[in-house]
Amino acid sequence: MNSHLTADDSQKLTAWGSTAPSAPTPGAPIGVFDSGVGGLTVARAIMDQLPHEKVIYVGDTANGPYGPLPIAQVRANALRIMDDLVDSGVKALVIACNTASAAVLRDARERYTRKYGIPVVEVIQPAVRRAVAATRNGKIGVLGTAATISSRAYEDSFAAAPHLTVRSEACPEFVDFVERGVTTGPELLETVERHLVPVQDAGADTVILGCTHYPLLTGVISYVLGHGVTLVTSSEETAKDLFRALTNEGLLRTDGAAPEHEFVATGDPEAFQQIAQRFLGPAVTGVRHTRSIAESFPTASLAVVTPEQQMQASVTLPAEQRVHSAADPSPSRSNPDPHGDPDTPRGTSWN
Active-site positions? Answer: 97, 211
**Beta carbons of 46 and 55 less than 8 angstroms apart:** yes
Residue 130, H or E segment = helix 124-134
Backbone angles phi, psi at 288, to 5 degrees: -115, 150
Q: Which helix H or strand E contains 92, and what residues bound it? A: strand 92-95
Rounded (10°) angle between helices 218-225 and 186-201: 50
Q: Which residues of 212-221 are buried (b: 16+ CB within 10 A; e: fewer)?
A: bbbbbbeebb
Of 93, 199, 182, 194, nearest to 139 by C-alpha is: 199
Task: Output the CA–CA distances (angstroms, integers) from residue 322 to 80, 311, 318, in the order listed.
Answer: 19, 8, 6
Cα dist from 212 to 37, 135, 157, 174, 227, whole Å: 9, 21, 17, 11, 22
C-alpha span between 85 and 88 (Å, rounded): 5
Q: Which helix (H) or strand (E) holds 280?
A: helix 269-280
Q: Which of 43, 34, 26, 3 is nearest to 281 (CA)?
A: 43
